[in-house]
Amino acid sequence: MAENQKSLLTMHGVTRVFLTDEVETHALSGIHLNINQGEYVAISGPSGCGKSTLLAILGLLDSPTSGSYVLNGRPVENLKMSERARIRNREIGFIFQAFNLIGDLNVYENVELPLTYRGLSGAERKQRVQQSLERVGMGHRVKHYPSQLSGGQQQRVAVARALAGDPAILLADEPTGNLDSVNGESVMELMRDLHRAGATICMVTHDPRYTRYADRTINLFDGRIVEESTETVPMDEAGQ
């Protein structure tokens, strides 16, 4: 993990400018960022500092106004929409604050849905769904619907959905934002376990309690990286 220094994504001089009513808003200014395979990086900072904008560009949901972005050895900032969608489906796993589960689908169907766009056989989809749900401790809830689950359980299903695609990187946008402290800690411990098993994770959070789970914390302020830290609070190793 930490010893593996293969660069997974690199940004050089990335800016993002929004134009509204002839007013320029510089959401990101001159971002230089590198994340290695197997790293766990937290992006932190106050509301409005550019965290979610940065994550949207990392996840190919948005494009930089200028600068370069290389993902898995491929420049991606100028790709066509169809190719961006293909990469999102195959190489990026998203975990959102609001879970984004579909209420009319049960747990199994929610996790399976992104896999249906890949042309995988039913047997392979079933294996992936079952394995990912077992990894997050939700294998016994396959027939439940989101409304029958707690917030913490819904987020675990959302993590399973991201894992099922075997992505190169997990992008988590305030994954504990809609959870109480107990469920928040539980989800963070789950993500820590996934990282220990080899997952590459980039997480946006405004909560300093959760940055300690990461290998490295990048602090944003007014669209710029103002500090990087690799100091983490020692975690309880009893569960290993």
Domains located in the chain, CATH noted: 39-60+80-230 (3.40.50.300)
Instruction: Output the six-digit token pair for 103.
Output: 């209420």
Check residue 146 and give its pLDDT. 96
99: left (phi > 0), else alpha (psi -120 to 50), else beta? Answer: left
Structural contact between residues 103 and 172, judged by C-beta atoms closer than 8 angstroms: no
Check residue 207 and give its pLDDT. 87
pLDDT in tens, 88-99: 989 999 999 999
Check residue 237 and give its pLDDT. 45
Measured distance CA(93)–CA(195) in Å, rounded: 13
pLDDT in tens, 36-67: 999 999 999 988 899 999 999 999 999 999 99
pLDDT in tens, 179-200: 999 999 999 999 999 999 999 9
Torsion sign over Cα 52, 54, 55, 59: positive
* Percent of the chain residues topping a pLDDT of 70: 94
Q: What are phi and psi of 132, to 5 degrees?
A: -70, -35
Name the packing angle between helices 151-164 and 122-135 (round to 10°).
130
Check residue 78 and give its pLDDT. 82
Whether residue 238 is predicted with pLDDT greater than 60 in this model: the reply is no
Q: Which residue has the higher pLDDT, 4 or 181?
A: 181
Measured distance CA(159)–CA(225) in Å, rounded: 28
pTM over 0.85: yes
Mapping DSSP to helix (H, G, I), strand (E, B) and coil, where does residue 77 land? coil
Measured distance CA(205)–CA(112) in Å, rounded: 27
Check residue 119 and give its pLDDT. 81
Structural contact between residues 27 and 53, judged by C-beta atoms closer than 8 angstroms: yes
Average pLDDT on 162-180 reads 92
Check residue 120 and give its pLDDT. 86
Please, which pLDDT band fits residue 232 given cuts at 50, 70 and 90? low
Measured distance CA(97)–CA(175) in Å, rounded: 5
pLDDT in tens, 110-161: 999 999 988 889 999 999 999 999 999 999 999 999 999 999 999 999 999 9
Check residue 26 and give its pLDDT. 92
Whether residue 1 is predicted with pLDDT greater than 50 in this model: the reply is no
Instruction: Output the six-digit token pair for 110.
Output: 């929610």
**What mean pLDDT value characterizes the chain?**
90
- In the numeric block, the tokens 């190793």 are attached to 237
